[in-house]
Amino acid sequence: MTLLNSEQMASFAARGFLKMEAVVPEDINRQFLEEVGSVPEDGTPESFYGHLFAEGNVPVVAAGTPLSETYQEGSAIHRLINLPEVAGAIQSLVGSQPTFDHHFLHVTFPPRFYNGNAPRAQHTHQDSTIDPRSAFDVQIMYFPHEVTPQMGGTRFVPGTHLRVVSEASISRYQNIAGQQHIVCPAGTLLFMHMGIWHGGGANESDDPRFMFKIRLCPTERQARLWDDSDLPDDHNKQDPIFWTGVNPKQPIHEILTRPEPWFEMDTGRLEYLNRIRFWRYLLGDSSFDADYWLTRIENEYV
């Protein structure tokens, strides 16, 4: 398997997602779409889901099942999670023995299924409920076919994952600077921290849009599960601040202190602090700092 490297993990810590474009081969994409079945032309969104549940095309699996026992060998999703890049990303993020939380097949229907009532985008939300843990679950979003701009692919806001909010309480925020919309080739995966703000777009195309989401939970401390052999020896060394001369920042430090377009002036700095704390958690090293953000406020003598 191919584990993530340190810069990929730091990017996940800072932005809350990793995207792998067209990582799933076409034969697995085709198999998946055949397994779940097509949307009947004369149906409704409700009848399609009713058919899907009745047919059992998506396996019914209890929460807490080990991932290794969740999908039948040879099924499309079993093949997908055992691809070297995918298995490596899962192990890097939630360890070697993650448990299955739930999965769901999200089908976004085109306008003709709504009897003249144009479809609306899903409000922005954070999944599940208030979750202030340092440990994190990962949600894998699988796009088995090409997603065009008209299809209203999943919208998400990089860097929001460390914000402690309560599910749909953030639905008033219609648009946020820096939001991204999934437009991708078939077989693309999005690995998301469970806290990232997101929502489904309205499908304005002529074709149904499929997205399969799997939530996985760790069963071990998430420290240095990725391939950290690329971390330089001076990774913990502090750089000059502001007056830096010609010296570039260390890559990990630069990633952790790169702002998002939606950052507020003051809380953008708190985001840096929280990213650095998260990176300390992932490293298992409470001495790490970038730009002196945490050292400065921890410098108290009693």
Binding site for other proteins (CB under 8 A): 118, 120-124, 132, 152, 155, 162-165, 169-177, 179, 181, 199, 201-202, 261-268, 270-271, 273-274
With respect to other proteins, which residue has the nearer C-beta, 45 or 268?
A: 268
Question: C-beta of 17: minimal distance to other proteins in Å?
Answer: 16
Task: At 211, list the tokens.
Answer: 């997205």
Pick 202 or 282: Cβ nearer other proteins = 202
Q: Long-range contact list for 118-122, CB < 8 A, 24+ apart?
A: 118/202, 119/152, 119/202, 119/203, 119/204, 120/202, 121/152, 121/155, 121/199, 121/200, 121/201, 121/202, 122/199, 122/200, 122/201
29, 144 Cβ separation under 8 angstroms: yes
Q: Residue 3, CB half-sphere, CA atoms under 13 Å: how many?
A: 16
| Nearest of 2, 1, 3 to residue 225 by alpha carbon | 3
Minimum distance, C-beta of residue 133 to other proteins, in the bound complex (Å):
13
Least CB distance from residue 293 to other proteins, whole Å? 10
Whichever of 81 and 170 has its CB closer to other proteins, that residue is: 170
**Minimum distance from residue 264 beta carbon to other proteins (Å):** 5
Q: Which is nearer to other proteins, 267 or 286 (CB)?
A: 267
* Closest CA relative to residue 170, chosen from 141, 132, 129, 202: 129
Minimum distance from residue 276 beta carbon to other proteins (Å): 11
- Closest CB to other proteins among residues 234, 264: 264
Contact call for residues 151 and 205 (beta carbons, < 8 A): yes
